[in-house]
A and B are shown apart, each in its own frame.
Chain A
Amino acid sequence: MSNSENLYYEYKIKNGDTFSGIIHSMFGHVPKDTRYAETVKFLLALNPQIKNPDRIRAGDMFRLGVLPPKPQTEAQIAKVKETVQGDQGKFITESVSQHDMDNFWALAWLEHNANYLTIPGGIAAGASGNLLSPGNVNLLNEVSDEYAKYKSGEITKSQYDYRRKRALDMFKANVGPFEQWMFGKNTTHETIRIARAGGIPATANIAKHADRLKSLAAVSKGGGIALMGVGLTSACLQIANATDIKEKNEIFVETIASTTVGIIAGSLVGLFLISNPISWGIAIVLAVSSTGTSWGLGKLARIGYDRYGEIDFVTGTGTDRVCK
């Protein structure tokens, strides 16, 4: 997808940042570390505009890159410097609006924090799984690919800016008003600063994002199974506590009906999902609707059995022997 040797990201220096402080927060190196001196040379090669590392200013742009696993030679560091100068030393984000920068950082936050998203109950089991549509993940990959194309000279800067803005706008539209709820009181810019303190370039971040989405989906799936178990256990307890056989059957019918309706709702959502990547809002609406519908129709089935039911399901299926 990209040449990682040429890939770096840009960071706006904040009040209170120091050169050594940035190295520590981004790379985890302190002056006594064996690779500290190499890191200093590497960053200075990436940032020829910095003449004195002790005199960086808030508001200035700063390039950060991935330090290769093996220590670099002077020739390799010189090559990094050549690459940067080949780009005419220009920063991409200098001409980008704060709004766009926030959008891009929001993406990095999302990938970094996706596994910490918490939504209670059955909504979480439905919504978080539905959110992980290929549309949203592809948008993140698209931004990363366009960045790599720009760095390799395949597209111009204005083309990159346009395509990135388009992808980010689409992503933000998908995420919708829940974005603010997700990010809490922190501005996206601040949270992204925290999220990106690991010193990883955008492309690796997005690859890691895919793994995190996968584990979040696995958690969602587990949540769904757990909730199903809780529901059935609860019904079993109610059946055990009911004294009247008719009441036991009503509870049984209500449980089976609501579970069935829930599964039917899932199949209909499946038919919908094949042609429609969906956003947070729709995901939560679908999950809440499914939950509410299965509860409501379970109640209705109970009324139906109460009026017209004659079959003793509980005895016939042996449920009364299990739930006692």
Chain B
Amino acid sequence: MALFDEVLLKTFMILLFSGMLGLVFILIMHILMPKTVLKTYFKEPYFGPGEIAMFTGFPFAYMRTAMFMRALAFPASGKKRRVENAYKLAPVWYCKVSKYFIIIYVPLMALLLLTGVIGFIHFEAWKQ
């Protein structure tokens, strides 16, 4: 049982740390986001006025970056908002890096959530 506890907690902490690194990466991609993409698509009618206000500036602009990273990496994901052609305005490397990042990041964070929930219940963390 002690081994299980150790593996669970250490896995959780490693995944948490990788999540932190992922956020740093998103920050870098935020800085490198092509301005033409934002200028062309981060406006009405692709985004509502509320979303534009919400996702501009600190602290929620990184969510906008995550949105566009997915739209650039997987153009079909932007179909509902009609941004499926946004990838044409971004460098190929940016789209590819976004794609590989999302492919790695999402499963890792799903695993973080899973280990977190298991650990939360196992250790009765709500009693802390």
Contact = CB atoms under 8 A, between A and B. Distances in A.
Contacts of A266: 60, 62-63, 66
B45 A138 contact: yes
Contacts of A93: none
A213 B112 contact: no
B37 to A, nearest CB: 12
> Majority SS of interface residues in chain A?
helix
Interface in A206-257: 210-211, 213-218, 220-221, 224-225, 228, 257
A207 to B, nearest CB: 10
Given A264-B19, A270-B65, A301-B12, A132 B50 contact: yes
User: Interface extent on B, as a size class?
Assistant: 35 or more
A102 B113 CA distance: 43
Nearest to A273: B67
Interface string B84-97: 00000000000000
Interface in B51-87: 51-54, 57-60, 62-71, 77-81, 83
> Majority SS of interface residues in chain B?
helix
Given A224-B60, A261-B16, A273-B63, A134 B47 contact: yes
A264 B9 contact: no
Interface in B32-52: 44-52
Nearest to A266: B63
Contact of B70 (A225, A264, A274): A274
Nearest to B80: A275
Contacts of A135: 80
A217 B69 CA distance: 22
Interface string A132-143: 111111100000
B13 interface: yes
Given A137-B50, A214-B49, A277-B80, 9 more contacts: A213-B49, A224-B60, A257-B16, A266-B62, A270-B63, A273-B63, A275-B81, A293-B116, A296-B125
Interface of B: 5-6, 9-10, 12-13, 16, 19-20, 22-23, 26, 44-54, 57-60, 62-71, 77-81, 83, 102, 106, 109, 112-113, 116-117, 119-120, 123, 125-126, 128
23 contacts: A129-B51, A133-B51, A134-B48, A135-B80, A136-B48, A210-B44, A217-B52, A218-B54, A221-B57, A221-B59, A228-B59, A261-B112, A261-B116, A266-B60, A270-B64, A275-B81, A296-B125, A300-B9, A301-B13, A302-B128, A304-B12, A307-B6, A308-B13
